[in-house]
Every structure is written in C-alpha cells, then in structure tokens.
Amino acid sequence: MTPVVSVLAALAILAGAAPAIAAPSTPTPSGHAEDDEPKLLTDVIELRNREYSKAKSKLEKSKKRQLELAMEVRRAQDELEALKPHVTQIAAQSYRTGRIGAVSMLLESDAPDSFVRRAAALDELNMVNGQKLAEVTAVKNRAEQAKLALDAEVREQQKLTNDMARESREAEKALALVGGKGFTGGLVDATSPVARIAPGRTADGGWRSESCSEDDPTTSGCVTPRTLHAYKEVRRAGFKRFAGCYRPGGPWEHPKGKACDWSLQNSGFAPWHNNDTRMYGNNLTAFLIRNADRLGIYYVIWNRQIWFPATGWKSYSGPSNHTDHVHMSLL
C-alpha cells in the first residue's frame, strides 16, 4: 500500500468515526474496616461523603477535559476534510503517471533548458505533494492521539461514577441496617466482631429445633444450646453488662429459653440516659444484626424498634418500649 493510499484509508476511517461523550451515571461501610478506618459509622459515612465530593470534582474535570478532546477531534476531522481534495488530486496523479511518469516527463524534453525547467517543476511538485502528505499525516496523528486520550478519559470517568455509586449504596445499606442516623443518634461502631456460627445449622441453611436443655447462666432456668451460644458470643464481643435470659410464663421466647434481655447497666435495668448507655445498646444491637445469620437470630428489639432479618426495622409498640435493654430472640 502506497503512502497516498494509506492516508486515504485513514481519512475514510476518521471521517466515519464520531467522538462519543459518555453520559455520567448516577453516583462504605458494613462488615470490617481497615485499621485506618474511623470507628463510628457516622464518621465512616462522613468520610465517604468527603471522598464522594472529591470524586465528583474529579468527574467534573474529566467531563470538561472530555469536551475539550471531543472538540479537538472535531477540529482535526474538519482539517482532514479540507485536505481531502489535495490528497485526491495527488492520488489521481500517481494513478495516471505512476513511477515512470517522472522519467517520461524528463525524456520528452527537446532542449537542455526545457529539461532543466521540467526537472525543477518536478521537484517543486514533489515538494508540494510531500508537504501536503506530511500535513495530512500530522493532522491524522493529532486526531488519533486526541481520540486515544478521549477514550482513556471516558474510561476513567466511568470508573469514577461506578465507584461513587457503589460507595453510596454501601453507606446507605450500612446505615439502614443498624436503624439509621435518627435511630442511633450516630452513636454506633462502623464494624462489629464476627460471631462463631451457632449449633444446629442444617445443610439447606435452616436451623434445627432445639429444646430448653442447657443451664441458663443468668438465672436458675434453662436455655437452648443456640441461645447459650449467642449469650457467650455477645459477651466475647465485649458486651458484659447485666443480662437475663430465662423467664417463666408468657407466650413468647423467654419461657422457651430462646431469648435474652441485655441491660445497659452493670446491674438491673434503667433506660438509656447518656451517650454511653445509648451507644452500648446501639453497638450490641448492631452486633446481633450483623451476625444474625451466624447466630440464628429470630428478631431484635431495641429503643422502640423491632428488627426481623426478612423485613428490617419497624416501629415497636409492645408492653415495654425497650429503652432500658436490648432484646434478642433466637430461632
């Protein structure tokens, strides 16, 4: 393929290609954070918001640069369109004369001065043709480089928007899981320890029925093996204030040995009245919820709200408003 044909092919490709401006898509923290992650969930969300603001600023710069590159490609394409007639003329001349054309032009000279004039004219023509080809090549290269930069900018922009969307979803999910900012007052840890899996898990993911066969460590009653396991895991996670599990009478889980009440106090029960007691209840609740599948949690009640694994948080209006303890029921 001759240089002229190569340039014409490049012109055809570039003329058909139009720069695409990627439309920005609509733009973290449950589980376990890294060592440098903040402790409180609200601090994590604040950090995510700062990161979002920074990423959004980068995104705006990316979109601005993307527009500039798109305009550069358009300018290059316009220049190529303007040069097309010259390239077409050169290509037609090459097709008509070929390599022997220059020799024929010189041999047809019938006088020395004519020979010199024809040689000079040929040199001038070659110089003009060479300049035009160089100009076309330079424009083509510039357009191609701009297009490559534009494509890279689009990919970076897409990555930024995807990251922002993912972090936003994770932050919202983590906040909703523990009851939201209004419910917790922002006083809840970003992560909780991972509990060991409770006994009685079946192969299909369910839980075997258990009887009240274990001594209750908090009363003279009994609890199921799963309740005893959950009790030990809660204490292992650092929640060692007063608790009571078995309680006779009533239709619910306490007389079945499938429930425990976790007080906010070292002894007895009293409603939360400061950040310490409120945060203790929030973090204990968060531990149970984040480990619900591992412990076999049936539901959790805390601070006028009840949480089920299948439905999440709902308002609770039972006989006790549960502002003085966290209630857990096991399957």
Q: What is the residue-wise DSSP string for 246-310?
A: ---SSSSSGGGT-EEEEESSSSS-----SHHHHHHHHHHHHHHHHTHHHHTEEEEEETTEEEETT
Quote the CA–CA distance of 328 and 218 in Å, as a whole number.
14
Q: How far is CA 218 from its chain centroid?
A: 45
Same domain assignment for residues 226 and 167: no
Quote the CA–CA distance of 199 and 245 in Å, as a whole number.
18
Confidence of residue 33 (pLDDT cuts 50, 70, 90): very low
Higher local confidence (pLDDT), 233 or 9: 233
Given a cut of 90, is residue 210 above it in pLDDT? yes
The predicted structure's pLDDT at residue 104? 53
Confidence of residue 3 (pLDDT cuts 50, 70, 90): very low
Domain C-terminal end among 177, 194, 227: 177
The predicted structure's pLDDT at residue 85? 78
Q: Into how many domains does the chain fold?
A: 2
Average pLDDT over residues 180-207: 91
Domain annotation covers residue 231: yes
Domain annotation covers residue 78: yes
The predicted structure's pLDDT at residue 57? 79
Average pLDDT over residues 5-27: 39
Burial of 257 (0-12, 13-18, 19+ CB in 10 A): buried
Same domain assignment for residues 155 and 81: yes
Same domain assignment for residues 25 and 143: yes
Query: Residue 55's domain spans which residues?
Result: 3-177
Domain annotation covers residue 197: no
Comparing 3-7, 146-150, 219-223, the range with the smallest average pLDDT is 3-7
Domain annotation covers residue 198: no
Given a cut of 80, is residue 119 above it in pLDDT? no
Given a cut of 50, is residue 17 above it in pLDDT? no
The predicted structure's pLDDT at residue 91? 65
Same domain assignment for residues 167 and 232: no
The predicted structure's pLDDT at residue 219? 93
Same domain assignment for residues 134 and 235: no
Task: Give the CA angle between residues 48, 53, 59 to the nearest 5°.
Answer: 120
Domain annotation covers residue 185: no
| Residue 185: Cβ within 10 Å count | 15
Q: Output the CA torsion sign for 293, 296, 298, 303.
A: negative
Domain C-terminal end among 118, 150, 177: 177
The predicted structure's pLDDT at residue 200? 93
Quote the CA–CA distance of 256 and 297 in Å, as a whole number.
15
The predicted structure's pLDDT at residue 264? 97
**Checking DSSP bridges between strand 214-215 and strand 312-315, what pairing results, if any?**
unpaired
Same domain assignment for residues 126 and 248: no
Confidence of residue 124 (pLDDT cuts 50, 70, 90): low
Domain annotation covers residue 192: no
* Phi/psi of residue 24, nearest 5 degrees: -70, 135
Relative orientation angle of helices 3-16 and 112-177, to the nearest 10 degrees = 30
Same domain assignment for residues 140 and 252: no
Given a cut of 90, is residue 296 above it in pLDDT? yes
* Average pLDDT for the chain: 79
Query: Phi/psi class of residue 250: alpha, beta or left (left: φ > 0; alpha: ψ in -120 to 50)?
Result: left
pLDDT digits (tens, 9 = 90+) for 249-262: 877 899 999 999 99
The percent of residues above 90 in pLDDT, for the chain, comes to: 39
Comparing 5-19, 33-47, 163-177, 223-237, the range with the smallest average pLDDT is 5-19
Domain annotation covers residue 207: no
Confidence of residue 229 (pLDDT cuts 50, 70, 90): very high
* Terminal Cα distance for the chain, rounded: 77
* Phi/psi of residue 162, nearest 5 degrees: -65, -45
Same domain assignment for residues 318 and 232: yes
Same domain assignment for residues 19 and 69: yes
Same domain assignment for residues 158 and 232: no
Q: Output the CA torsion sign for 283, 286, 288, 290.
A: negative
Quote the CA–CA distance of 44 and 57 in Å, as a whole number.
20
The predicted structure's pLDDT at residue 15? 41
| Residue 134: Cβ within 10 Å count | 10
Same domain assignment for residues 122 and 218: no
pLDDT digits (tens, 9 = 90+) for 49-102: 778 777 777 778 887 887 888 888 788 778 778 777 766 776 676 666 654 455
Query: Phi/psi class of residue 191: alpha, beta or left (left: φ > 0; alpha: ψ in -120 to 50)?
Result: beta
The predicted structure's pLDDT at residue 19? 39
Strand partners, 305: 302, 315
Same domain assignment for residues 164 and 225: no
The predicted structure's pLDDT at residue 328? 98
Q: Residue 88 corresponds to which amino acid?
A: T
Domain C-terminal end among 149, 177, 205: 177
